[in-house]
Protein backbone atom coordinates (compact mmCIF):
# COMPACT_ATOMS: atom_id res chain seq x y z
CA UNK A 1 0.00 0.00 0.00
CA UNK A 2 1.38 3.39 -0.91
CA UNK A 3 1.68 6.06 1.75
CA UNK A 4 -1.05 8.20 0.16
CA UNK A 5 -3.41 5.22 0.14
CA UNK A 6 -2.60 4.57 3.80
CA UNK A 7 -3.49 8.14 4.77
CA UNK A 8 -6.70 8.05 2.72
CA UNK A 9 -7.69 4.75 4.30
CA UNK A 10 -7.01 6.13 7.77
CA UNK A 11 -9.10 9.23 7.08
CA UNK A 12 -11.91 7.12 5.64
CA UNK A 13 -11.89 4.81 8.66
CA UNK A 14 -12.01 7.76 11.06
CA UNK A 15 -14.90 9.43 9.19
CA UNK A 16 -16.80 6.16 8.95
CA UNK A 17 -16.44 5.34 12.64
CA UNK A 18 -17.36 8.87 13.70
CA UNK A 19 -20.40 8.68 11.45
CA UNK A 20 -21.27 5.38 13.08
CA UNK A 21 -21.65 7.08 16.47
CA UNK A 22 -24.74 8.88 15.16
CA UNK A 23 -26.44 5.54 14.56
CA UNK A 24 -25.35 3.26 17.39
CA UNK A 25 -26.63 3.49 20.98
CA UNK A 26 -24.50 5.49 23.38
CA UNK A 27 -23.35 2.41 25.30
CA UNK A 28 -22.01 0.98 22.04
CA UNK A 29 -20.22 4.28 21.44
CA UNK A 30 -18.63 3.87 24.86
CA UNK A 31 -17.57 0.34 23.87
CA UNK A 32 -16.13 1.72 20.63
CA UNK A 33 -14.03 4.13 22.66
CA UNK A 34 -12.75 1.24 24.79
CA UNK A 35 -11.94 -0.81 21.66
CA UNK A 36 -9.92 2.11 20.31
CA UNK A 37 -8.06 2.52 23.61
CA UNK A 38 -7.21 -1.19 23.77
CA UNK A 39 -6.23 -1.07 20.10
CA UNK A 40 -3.43 1.40 20.84
CA UNK A 41 -1.89 -0.96 23.39
CA UNK A 42 -2.34 -4.04 21.22
CA UNK A 43 -0.91 -2.33 18.14
CA UNK A 44 2.15 -1.41 20.20
CA UNK A 45 2.57 -5.12 20.97
CA UNK A 46 2.22 -5.93 17.27
CA UNK A 47 5.27 -3.78 16.64
CA UNK A 48 7.26 -4.87 19.69
CA UNK A 49 6.48 -8.57 19.80
CA UNK A 50 5.30 -9.28 16.26
CA UNK A 51 7.86 -7.38 14.21
CA UNK A 52 10.49 -7.03 16.93
CA UNK A 53 10.31 -10.49 18.47
CA UNK A 54 10.47 -9.09 22.00
CA UNK A 55 7.89 -10.85 24.14
CA UNK A 56 6.43 -8.34 26.57
CA UNK A 57 3.84 -9.22 29.20
CA UNK A 58 3.99 -5.73 30.66
CA UNK A 59 1.92 -3.73 28.20
CA UNK A 60 -0.75 -3.08 30.86
CA UNK A 61 1.85 -1.42 33.10
CA UNK A 62 2.77 0.93 30.28
CA UNK A 63 -0.89 1.69 29.66
CA UNK A 64 -1.17 2.39 33.37
CA UNK A 65 1.76 4.78 33.10
CA UNK A 66 -0.19 6.58 30.39
CA UNK A 67 -3.37 6.64 32.47
CA UNK A 68 -1.62 7.97 35.57
CA UNK A 69 0.28 10.55 33.52
CA UNK A 70 -3.04 11.69 32.11
CA UNK A 71 -4.67 11.79 35.53
CA UNK A 72 -1.86 13.67 37.27
CA UNK A 73 -1.43 16.27 34.54
CA UNK A 74 -5.17 16.76 33.99
CA UNK A 75 -5.87 17.20 37.71
CA UNK A 76 -2.92 19.55 38.14
CA UNK A 77 -4.08 21.64 35.20
CA UNK A 78 -7.68 21.67 36.43
CA UNK A 79 -6.51 22.79 39.88
CA UNK A 80 -4.62 25.61 38.20
CA UNK A 81 -7.85 26.68 36.52
CA UNK A 82 -7.10 25.47 32.99
CA UNK A 83 -9.95 24.54 30.70
CA UNK A 84 -10.76 24.15 27.03
CA UNK A 85 -8.95 21.96 24.49
CA UNK A 86 -5.64 22.34 26.34
CA UNK A 87 -7.05 20.40 29.29
CA UNK A 88 -7.57 17.53 26.85
CA UNK A 89 -4.53 17.71 24.59
CA UNK A 90 -1.81 18.35 27.15
CA UNK A 91 -2.79 15.38 29.37
CA UNK A 92 -2.98 13.12 26.30
CA UNK A 93 0.51 14.23 25.27
CA UNK A 94 1.63 13.67 28.85
CA UNK A 95 0.18 10.15 28.73
CA UNK A 96 2.19 9.32 25.60
CA UNK A 97 5.31 10.97 26.96
CA UNK A 98 5.07 9.41 30.44
CA UNK A 99 4.67 5.90 29.07
CA UNK A 100 7.48 6.47 26.56
CA UNK A 101 9.85 7.54 29.36
CA UNK A 102 8.99 4.43 31.38
CA UNK A 103 9.37 2.42 28.17
CA UNK A 104 12.82 3.87 27.64
CA UNK A 105 13.87 2.88 31.16
CA UNK A 106 12.44 -0.61 30.71
CA UNK A 107 13.87 -0.90 27.21
CA UNK A 108 17.38 -0.03 28.36
CA UNK A 109 17.23 -3.00 30.71
CA UNK A 110 15.21 -5.17 28.36
CA UNK A 111 17.69 -4.67 25.53
CA UNK A 112 19.97 -7.09 27.35
CA UNK A 113 17.25 -9.71 27.89
CA UNK A 114 15.46 -11.97 25.48
CA UNK A 115 12.83 -14.70 25.40
CA UNK A 116 11.44 -15.86 28.74
CA UNK A 117 13.72 -13.53 30.71
CA UNK A 118 12.27 -10.50 28.99
CA UNK A 119 8.75 -11.89 29.47
CA UNK A 120 9.42 -12.39 33.18
CA UNK A 121 10.93 -8.96 33.60
CA UNK A 122 8.06 -7.17 31.91
CA UNK A 123 5.54 -9.26 33.84
CA UNK A 124 7.17 -8.09 37.07
CA UNK A 125 6.27 -4.52 36.08
CA UNK A 126 2.57 -5.35 36.05
CA UNK A 127 2.77 -7.37 39.24
CA UNK A 128 4.54 -4.49 40.96
CA UNK A 129 1.96 -1.90 39.92
CA UNK A 130 -0.38 -2.23 42.96
CA UNK A 131 2.61 -2.06 45.29
CA UNK A 132 3.82 1.09 43.58
CA UNK A 133 0.43 2.78 43.75
CA UNK A 134 -0.04 1.95 47.43
CA UNK A 135 3.51 2.98 48.32
CA UNK A 136 3.02 6.37 46.73
CA UNK A 137 -0.65 6.53 47.65
CA UNK A 138 -0.56 10.26 48.45
CA UNK A 139 0.19 10.94 44.78
CA UNK A 140 -1.25 7.90 43.01
CA UNK A 141 -4.28 7.34 45.20
CA UNK A 142 -3.44 3.83 46.43
CA UNK A 143 -5.77 0.97 45.57
CA UNK A 144 -8.60 3.38 44.77
CA UNK A 145 -6.60 5.15 42.11
CA UNK A 146 -7.29 8.69 41.00
CA UNK A 147 -10.46 10.41 39.88
CA UNK A 148 -9.88 12.68 36.98
CA UNK A 149 -11.31 16.07 36.16
CA UNK A 150 -11.90 15.65 32.43
CA UNK A 151 -12.58 18.28 29.85
CA UNK A 152 -16.13 17.73 28.63
CA UNK A 153 -17.09 17.88 24.98
CA UNK A 154 -17.01 21.34 23.43
CA UNK A 155 -20.10 23.46 24.14
CA UNK A 156 -20.97 23.69 20.46
CA UNK A 157 -21.35 19.92 20.26
CA UNK A 158 -23.41 19.44 23.41
CA UNK A 159 -26.72 19.47 21.64
CA UNK A 160 -25.52 17.15 18.90
CA UNK A 161 -23.55 14.32 20.45
CA UNK A 162 -23.72 12.39 23.69
CA UNK A 163 -20.80 12.20 26.08
CA UNK A 164 -20.15 8.62 24.98
CA UNK A 165 -20.17 9.55 21.30
CA UNK A 166 -17.71 12.35 21.99
CA UNK A 167 -15.46 9.91 23.84
CA UNK A 168 -15.65 7.60 20.84
CA UNK A 169 -14.75 10.45 18.50
CA UNK A 170 -11.68 11.26 20.50
CA UNK A 171 -10.64 7.61 20.82
CA UNK A 172 -11.21 6.94 17.11
CA UNK A 173 -9.12 9.92 16.04
CA UNK A 174 -6.29 9.14 18.46
CA UNK A 175 -6.16 5.43 17.69
CA UNK A 176 -6.31 5.97 13.93
CA UNK A 177 -3.42 8.40 14.36
CA UNK A 178 -1.44 5.85 16.39
CA UNK A 179 -2.10 3.06 13.91
CA UNK A 180 -1.15 5.22 10.94
CA UNK A 181 2.14 6.24 12.51
CA UNK A 182 2.90 2.64 13.49
CA UNK A 183 2.10 1.51 9.93
CA UNK A 184 4.45 4.18 8.57
CA UNK A 185 7.21 2.84 10.79
CA UNK A 186 6.52 -0.83 10.12
CA UNK A 187 6.42 -0.41 6.36
CA UNK A 188 9.49 1.81 6.22
CA UNK A 189 13.12 1.63 7.16
CA UNK A 190 12.50 1.08 10.87
CA UNK A 191 10.24 -1.92 10.27
CA UNK A 192 12.86 -3.47 8.02
CA UNK A 193 15.59 -2.97 10.59
CA UNK A 194 13.39 -4.25 13.40
CA UNK A 195 12.53 -7.48 11.57
CA UNK A 196 16.18 -7.91 10.57
CA UNK A 197 17.26 -7.70 14.22
CA UNK A 198 14.48 -10.12 15.19
CA UNK A 199 15.46 -12.64 12.53
CA UNK A 200 19.24 -12.55 12.88
CA UNK A 201 20.89 -10.00 15.17
CA UNK A 202 24.43 -10.88 14.04
CA UNK A 203 23.63 -10.47 10.36
CA UNK A 204 21.68 -7.30 11.14
CA UNK A 205 24.69 -5.77 12.90
CA UNK A 206 26.94 -6.71 9.99
CA UNK A 207 24.45 -5.01 7.65
CA UNK A 208 25.01 -1.81 9.62
CA UNK A 209 22.01 -1.94 11.97
CA UNK A 210 22.56 -1.30 15.66
CA UNK A 211 20.59 -4.12 17.32
CA UNK A 212 20.51 -2.65 20.83
CA UNK A 213 19.37 0.77 19.65
CA UNK A 214 16.72 -0.79 17.41
CA UNK A 215 15.29 -2.90 20.23
CA UNK A 216 15.21 -0.03 22.69
CA UNK A 217 13.55 2.21 20.11
CA UNK A 218 10.91 -0.46 19.54
CA UNK A 219 10.24 -0.52 23.28
CA UNK A 220 9.83 3.24 23.41
CA UNK A 221 7.46 3.29 20.41
CA UNK A 222 5.39 0.43 21.74
CA UNK A 223 5.20 2.13 25.13
CA UNK A 224 4.17 5.45 23.61
CA UNK A 225 1.31 3.68 21.80
CA UNK A 226 0.31 1.99 25.06
CA UNK A 227 0.48 5.38 26.77
CA UNK A 228 -2.02 6.79 24.29
CA UNK A 229 -4.27 3.81 25.01
CA UNK A 230 -3.95 4.40 28.76
CA UNK A 231 -4.67 8.10 28.32
CA UNK A 232 -7.81 7.34 26.33
CA UNK A 233 -8.96 4.84 28.96
CA UNK A 234 -8.33 7.41 31.66
CA UNK A 235 -10.37 10.01 29.79
CA UNK A 236 -13.22 7.63 29.02
CA UNK A 237 -13.50 6.11 32.50
CA UNK A 238 -12.51 9.34 34.29
CA UNK A 239 -10.25 7.33 36.54
CA UNK A 240 -6.84 5.72 36.75
CA UNK A 241 -6.38 2.87 39.20
CA UNK A 242 -4.27 -0.26 39.58
CA UNK A 243 -7.29 -2.58 39.31
CA UNK A 244 -7.85 -1.72 35.64
CA UNK A 245 -4.29 -2.67 34.69
CA UNK A 246 -3.96 -6.11 36.19
CA UNK A 247 -1.79 -8.99 35.07
CA UNK A 248 -4.86 -10.62 33.52
CA UNK A 249 -5.47 -7.50 31.43
CA UNK A 250 -1.82 -7.49 30.37
CA UNK A 251 -2.07 -11.12 29.24
CA UNK A 252 -5.35 -10.33 27.48
CA UNK A 253 -3.62 -7.63 25.45
CA UNK A 254 -0.99 -10.10 24.26
CA UNK A 255 -3.65 -12.76 23.61
CA UNK A 256 -5.66 -10.25 21.59
CA UNK A 257 -2.60 -9.45 19.50
CA UNK A 258 -1.94 -13.15 18.88
CA UNK A 259 -5.57 -14.11 18.20
CA UNK A 260 -6.04 -11.15 15.88
CA UNK A 261 -2.82 -11.92 14.05
CA UNK A 262 0.42 -10.57 15.44
CA UNK A 263 1.95 -10.19 12.00
CA UNK A 264 -0.11 -7.16 11.04
CA UNK A 265 -1.75 -4.07 12.48
CA UNK A 266 -5.06 -5.15 10.97
CA UNK A 267 -4.81 -8.19 13.24
CA UNK A 268 -4.58 -5.82 16.20
CA UNK A 269 -7.95 -4.37 15.17
CA UNK A 270 -9.60 -7.81 15.26
CA UNK A 271 -7.94 -8.53 18.59
CA UNK A 272 -9.17 -5.31 20.17
CA UNK A 273 -12.71 -5.92 18.89
CA UNK A 274 -12.66 -9.43 20.30
CA UNK A 275 -11.31 -8.27 23.64
CA UNK A 276 -14.32 -6.01 24.14
CA UNK A 277 -16.97 -8.01 22.29
CA UNK A 278 -16.31 -11.43 23.78
CA UNK A 279 -17.00 -10.62 27.47
CA UNK A 280 -20.02 -8.58 26.38
CA UNK A 281 -21.44 -11.41 24.28
CA UNK A 282 -20.82 -13.94 27.04
CA UNK A 283 -22.51 -11.90 29.73
CA UNK A 284 -25.44 -11.24 27.39
CA UNK A 285 -25.72 -14.96 26.75
CA UNK A 286 -25.53 -15.99 30.42
CA UNK A 287 -28.11 -13.38 31.44
CA UNK A 288 -30.60 -14.94 29.01
CA UNK A 289 -30.08 -18.45 30.37
CA UNK A 290 -31.87 -17.65 33.67
CA UNK A 291 -29.18 -19.25 35.78
CA UNK A 292 -29.31 -19.18 39.56
CA UNK A 293 -27.93 -15.98 41.06
CA UNK A 294 -25.09 -17.90 42.69
CA UNK A 295 -23.95 -19.56 39.45
CA UNK A 296 -24.21 -16.45 37.31
CA UNK A 297 -22.19 -14.55 39.86
CA UNK A 298 -19.49 -17.16 39.66
CA UNK A 299 -19.52 -17.18 35.89
CA UNK A 300 -19.44 -13.42 35.67
CA UNK A 301 -16.03 -12.43 34.35
CA UNK A 302 -14.52 -15.89 34.77
CA UNK A 303 -16.30 -17.43 31.82
CA UNK A 304 -14.87 -14.78 29.51
CA UNK A 305 -11.35 -15.69 30.67
CA UNK A 306 -11.99 -19.37 29.99
CA UNK A 307 -13.50 -18.71 26.57
CA UNK A 308 -10.67 -16.39 25.64
CA UNK A 309 -8.17 -19.06 26.68
CA UNK A 310 -9.95 -21.66 24.58
CA UNK A 311 -10.02 -19.30 21.60
CA UNK A 312 -6.29 -18.67 22.01
CA UNK A 313 -5.51 -22.40 22.06
CA UNK A 314 -7.65 -22.99 18.98
CA UNK A 315 -6.08 -20.12 17.09
CA UNK A 316 -2.53 -21.16 17.93
CA UNK A 317 -3.27 -24.72 16.86
CA UNK A 318 -5.38 -24.07 13.77
CA UNK A 319 -4.46 -20.61 12.53
CA UNK A 320 -1.07 -19.47 13.83
CA UNK A 321 -1.38 -16.30 11.75
CA UNK A 322 -4.52 -15.36 13.70
CA UNK A 323 -7.80 -14.01 12.41
CA UNK A 324 -6.04 -11.74 9.94
CA UNK A 325 -4.12 -14.73 8.57
CA UNK A 326 -7.39 -16.60 8.06
CA UNK A 327 -8.94 -13.62 6.28
CA UNK A 328 -5.92 -13.19 4.02
CA UNK A 329 -6.02 -16.89 3.18
CA UNK A 330 -9.76 -16.73 2.48
CA UNK A 331 -9.24 -13.61 0.36
CA UNK A 332 -6.39 -15.32 -1.48
CA UNK A 333 -8.73 -18.06 -2.64
CA UNK A 334 -11.05 -15.51 -4.19
CA UNK A 335 -8.49 -13.47 -6.09
CA UNK A 336 -4.82 -13.76 -7.09
CA UNK A 337 -2.48 -12.93 -4.19
CA UNK A 338 -1.22 -9.36 -4.06
CA UNK A 339 2.55 -8.98 -4.35
CA UNK A 340 4.08 -9.15 -0.89
CA UNK A 341 6.16 -6.01 -1.07
CA UNK A 342 6.57 -3.45 -3.74
CA UNK A 343 9.55 -3.90 -5.99
CA UNK A 344 10.33 -0.30 -6.86
CA UNK A 345 10.52 -0.40 -10.60
CA UNK A 346 9.30 -3.53 -12.32
CA UNK A 347 6.07 -4.83 -10.90
CA UNK A 348 6.23 -8.14 -12.67
CA UNK A 349 9.32 -10.17 -11.84
CA UNK A 350 11.39 -10.91 -14.88
CA UNK A 351 13.00 -14.31 -15.20
CA UNK A 352 16.55 -14.14 -13.86
CA UNK A 353 18.90 -13.46 -16.72
CA UNK A 354 22.54 -12.96 -15.79
CA UNK A 355 23.50 -12.37 -19.38
CA UNK A 356 21.25 -9.37 -20.01
CA UNK A 357 21.33 -7.75 -16.56
CA UNK A 358 23.18 -4.43 -16.50
CA UNK A 359 25.72 -4.83 -13.75
CA UNK A 360 27.96 -2.88 -11.47
CA UNK A 361 30.04 -6.00 -11.35
CA UNK A 362 30.97 -6.71 -14.95
CA UNK A 363 29.79 -10.02 -16.27
CA UNK A 364 32.58 -12.52 -15.78
CA UNK A 365 34.17 -13.35 -19.07
CA UNK A 366 35.91 -16.44 -20.27
CA UNK A 367 36.42 -18.53 -17.19
CA UNK A 368 32.94 -19.82 -16.72
CA UNK A 369 30.05 -20.94 -18.87
CA UNK A 370 27.89 -17.96 -19.77
CA UNK A 371 24.73 -20.02 -19.84
CA UNK A 372 22.69 -20.68 -16.72
CA UNK A 373 23.36 -23.93 -14.93
CA UNK A 374 21.76 -27.04 -16.23
CA UNK A 375 22.77 -26.47 -19.83
Exposure string over 139-167, b if 16+ CB within 10 A, otherwise e: ebbbeebbebbbbebeeeeeeebbebbbb
Contact between 10 and another protein by CB under 8 A: the answer reads no
Query: SS3 breakdown of the chain: % helix, strand, coil, rounded to 5?
Result: 70, 0, 25
What residue ranges in 150-259 does DSSP mark as E strands? 239-240
Q: How many residues form the binding site for another protein (CB under 8 A)? A: 53
Contact between 336 and another protein by CB under 8 A: the answer reads no
Residue 31 to residues 222, 259, 293: CA-CA distances in angstroms?
23, 20, 26
Residue 6 vs 114, nearer CB to another protein: 6
Question: Can you name the residues that pair with 147 across neighbouring β-strands?
Answer: 239
Residue 188 to residues 26, 75, 191: CA-CA distances in angstroms?
38, 38, 6
The three-state secondary structure class of 152 is coil
Chain residues 163-222 in contact with another protein, contact rule CB under 8 A: 181, 184-185, 187-190, 192-193, 195-196, 198-200, 202-211, 217, 221
Residue 129 to residues 97, 162, 232, 244: CA-CA distances in angstroms?
19, 34, 19, 11
Contact between 135 and another protein by CB under 8 A: the answer reads no
What residue ranges in the chain does DSSP mark as E strands? 146-147, 239-240
From 83-91, 264-272, 308-316, 362-370, span contacting another protein (CB under 8 A): 362-370
The three-state secondary structure class of 364 is coil
Residue 126 vs 224, nearer CB to another protein: 224
Residue 23 vs 361, nearer CB to another protein: 361
Least separation in angstroms between residue 225's CB and another protein is 12
- Which of 6, 82, 114, 132 touches another protein by CB under 8 A? 6
Residue 153 vs 193, nearer CB to another protein: 193
From 35-43, 83-91, 272-280, 340-348, span contacting another protein (CB under 8 A): 340-348
Chain residues binding another protein by CB under 8 A are: 3, 6, 181, 184-185, 187-190, 192-193, 195-196, 198-200, 202-211, 217, 221, 339-341, 343-345, 349-354, 357-364, 367-369, 373-374
Amino acid sequence: MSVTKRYLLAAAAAVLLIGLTFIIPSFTSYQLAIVCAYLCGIAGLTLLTGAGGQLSLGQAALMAAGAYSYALSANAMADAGAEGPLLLLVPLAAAVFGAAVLGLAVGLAAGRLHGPYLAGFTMALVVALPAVTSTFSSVLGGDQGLWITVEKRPTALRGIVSTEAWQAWLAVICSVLVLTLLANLLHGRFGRHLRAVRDNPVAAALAGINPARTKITAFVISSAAAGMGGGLLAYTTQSAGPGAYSLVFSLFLLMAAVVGGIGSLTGAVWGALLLVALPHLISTATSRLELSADLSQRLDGNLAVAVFGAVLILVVLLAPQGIQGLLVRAGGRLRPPPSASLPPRSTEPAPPSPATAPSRIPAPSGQLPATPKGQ
